[in-house]
Structure 1
């Protein structure tokens, strides 16, 4: 093909991408799209998602399709959106959780026994100031000890903290036939939940 003939052709992908760009050369609504995308990605996968899209130095991007990477201001804005979501999620978990005296009353044990369970990993909790808050999903009247079994094993393989674990434990899980991890733990199927946690951790990498 001659150089002249080749020059007369247009790249449909480039043309389409150019049509989506604003005057700055960046796709229109870039910040909004980035924020929406980040909000839809689980906490445990968010860093790898961002690096996969923008790269540490924008290496490997098709700039004709994506345009320039986000500016420092856009990166900061996206990070702030992410942090706000994390803090809101933490506050929601804390407010819906039990205090140590409440947990002790439910389990008919001393507050020190609850603390011992926290230290052993049998229960999980968050600190609010100097006080513990224990997410309510881990308590089960149908369980022999009054709380779901196997939390220490699940926490050991779960890639995230108590807030992320709570969100995950209460969400229907396709690896558990649509049941939530909390429900499956309460039923005593610890191995199944540990396996699902491992699958989720592997997917995050």
Structure 2
């Protein structure tokens, strides 16, 4: 009887030992099958670096705005914060204009526009004069105005047609392409006249009026579109 109990005890001990061995083996396998991850080093590829602080952004913005004309800088400020300047950082932009200063600036801008208008009218032809040059009826001139082939400024009830658009060498007596240019140009006849008579870097140093007279309609249209995009 004691022999049998001893046998059972030995068998139980062996079974227990095998169970412990399997447990240790499983634990070892579990530990070895789980890879240890190491956090990536700072600045390594695929990691995200922190963005520059507000102070750094302000410094960059100051440099950029300091390199553009004042009119463009003011236009940018108004586009960001509105006419009242609410939320404007005085440390970044400086003191904003007072209501009186804004009113004065607006009035001066209007005065400049009206001076330009008077100058354009002074250098323009009446409708009868344009009809005489083109050897057409006054109604034909009016039709050209409505179609956009000619541009004009109203003075009272009469039209004044800027003289730069008339060209004795042109097939029809006036520069071609004005209708296409007017469709993309952001201003009226006064501002278009000012633009047309000034040298344009997009036209290799020629004025838009000269380029139209040379038949470079597509180039002038692109220059007008570029000016429109810059204004926005």
Pairwise same-fold verdict (TM > 0.5) = yes
1:150 correspondence with 2:190:
no
The equivalent residue for 2:114 is 87
Query: Would you say 1:199 and 2:207 are equivalent positions?
Result: no
Q: Name the structure 1 match of 2:138.
A: 111
Q: What is the DSSP-based 3-state SS (H/G/I as helix, E as strand, rest coil) of the residue aligned with 1:199?
A: helix
The reply to whether residue 126 of structure 1 matches residue 126 of structure 2 is no
Q: Is 1:166 the equivalent of 2:193? A: yes
Closer, same or farther in 2 for the Cα pair 1:175/1:47, shift >3 Å? same
- Unmatched tracts of structure 2, length 5 or more: 1-68
- Deviation, structure 1 residue 156: 0.1
Per the alignment, residue 207 of structure 2 pairs with: 180
Aligned counterpart, 2:91: 64
**Displaced runs of 4+ in structure 1, greater than 6 A?**
none
Which one scores higher on RCO, CA 8 angstroms, separation ≥ 6? 1
Structure 1 gap ranges (5+): 1-35
Q: Cα distance, 1:71 vs. partner? A: 1.0
Counterpart for residue 21 of structure 2: none
Structure number with bigger Rg: 2
The change in CA–CA distance for 1:180 and 1:75 in structure 2 (over 3 A counts) is same
Q: CA offsets per residue over residues 14-51 of structure 1, 9 Å max, x none?
A: xxxxxxxxxxxxxxxxxxxxxx945xx6xxxx984561
Alignment partner, residue 12 of structure 1: none
Secondary structure, counterpart of 1:178 in structure 2: coil
Q: CA deviation at 1:53?
A: 7.9
Matches of 1:178 and 1:49 in 2, distance apart?
28
RMSD: 2.2
How much has 1:161 moved relative to structure 2?
A: 0.8
1:31-76 residue CA offsets vs partner (Å, 9 max, x unmatched): xxxxx945xx6xxxx9845614864342453312543311111110
In structure 2, C-alpha distance between the alignment counterparts of 1:68 and 1:58, rounded to whole Å? 10
- What TM-score does the superposition give when structure 1 sets the normalisation length? 0.74
